[in-house]
Amino acid sequence: MKGAISLKVSLPKIPDIELVAIEGLERLAHHLGIADEKIGEARVLVTEAIINALEHSGEDNPLVKVEFTMTKQELIILIRDYGKGFEPSSVEDPDIRGKMGTKDKRGWGLKLMKTMSDDFRIESNDHGTRITIKKLLS
Amino acid sequence: MEQQFTLTSEVRNDCLVITTSGYVNNVGGEKIAQEFTRHFEKGTKKVIVNLAQSKVVNSIGMSFLIDIIDQLNDAGGKMVFTNLDPAVDKMLTIMGLFQFAGKGKTVEDAVALLAIEK
């Protein structure tokens, strides 16, 4: 992409490590002169993608690779884990009414990523999962 | 970027007002739940969560708030969120939280909203 800047980072599973990626995202945006409010939804996407990958990879010591490619117009987020993978079509969208009265209040990550992004792709097999998210910034 | 989670609370017009600062993750969500429980056990059924200083939240942290909303619904109470960052507002909308909780621009708005509740 013309005028794009990129950032790649590998994240181990330690508390709040997703904030490192958020910090990087904010610095890229600042460098390109993108207003903070334009990347608010990107913050949610990055946070959910990373915690999802770290939590569900199935590895003892998971490592998640994150790559941002940003222009003034759009952000591409790649999230890669090397875990056991899963069948995306087997994950049902959660519904708040179905959560009420039950102990399980979690499971929102994929729904949020699919709904808040401008394009969302997921590839998963026995060797891990790769999520590609596009978010328009203008 | 200061994201260390902290909270303060006060009671205004029978409403518990919880004001957070920093990242609302599992730890932050649990702290909110603990503070809620402390007041809920004494009979408080109206809760305001002021997220003005929490621009970054995650769905695990929000799952603790869904649990609080569930308990309040069962008890005939209500939660109102205030001072939401637009992205957090959209996130909570997608999760459907506003089907069961309210939203106010400010804490004062939320207090007024809850004053007309039973």
Which is it for the CA torsion B37, B43, B45, B50, positive or negative?
Answer: negative
B52 to chain A, any CB pair closer than 8 A? The answer is no
Q: Are strands A119-125 and A5-12 parallel, antiparallel or unpaired?
A: unpaired
State the nearest Cα–Cα gap between A110 and chain B, in angstroms: 10
Is B1's CB within 8 Å of A23's CB? yes
DSSP output for B58-114: -HHHHHHHHHHHHHHHHHT-EEEEES--HHHHHHHHHHTGGGTSEEESSHHHHHHHH
State the nearest Cα–Cα gap between A36 and chain B, in angstroms: 11
Average pLDDT, stretch A25-48? 94
One pLDDT digit (tens) per residue for chain B, 118 residues? 557 999 999 999 999 999 999 999 999 999 999 999 999 999 999 999 999 999 999 999 999 999 999 999 999 999 999 999 999 999 999 999 999 999 999 999 999 999 988 6
Is B94's CB within 8 Å of A112's CB? yes
**DSSP three-state, residue A47:** helix
Question: What ipTM describes this predicted complex?
Answer: 0.92
For the question of whether the overall pTM of this predicted structure is more than 0.90, the answer is: yes
Cα separation, A70 vs B60, in Å, equals: 27
Cα separation, B117 vs B103, in Å, equals: 14
Residue of A51, A97, A99 lying closest to B58 (CB–CB): A51
A98 to chain B, any CB pair closer than 8 A? The answer is no
